[in-house]
Amino acid sequence: MIKCIDRSGKKYSIRQVLNDIIGHLKIPIIYGFPSGHRIPGDINVTLPFGTSVTIDADKARVIVNEGGVS
């Protein structure tokens, strides 16, 4: 969420919004990962949908365990 403009007048962070919406799911959520809508020229990691991944929070790594295309 780069350069988003909050016109509501409320002061919520993206973490607060996501926690409010999906916090009850008890699933891992990663913040600050360079993927998704990014500024051109920045690092932007492509994440395949429907694949197995390992999240290593201690080493700040996301490991894709299989190819995204079969």
DSSP H or E segment with residue 9: none
Alpha helices in 1-70 (DSSP H): 14-22
pLDDT of residue 2: 61
Residue ranges of the domains in the chain? 14-64
Single-letter amino acid code for the residue at 53: V
Global pTM value? 0.52
- Structure tokens that stand for 67 in this block: 């190819």
Digitized pLDDT (tens) for each residue of the chain, 70 residues in all: 566 677 778 778 888 888 899 999 988 888 878 887 777 777 888 888 888 989 888 898 889 999 877 6
In degrees, rounded to 5, the angle at the alpha carbon of residue 36 between the alpha carbons of residues 42 and 26 is 130
For residue 8, the Cα-to-chain-centroid distance in whole angstroms is 23
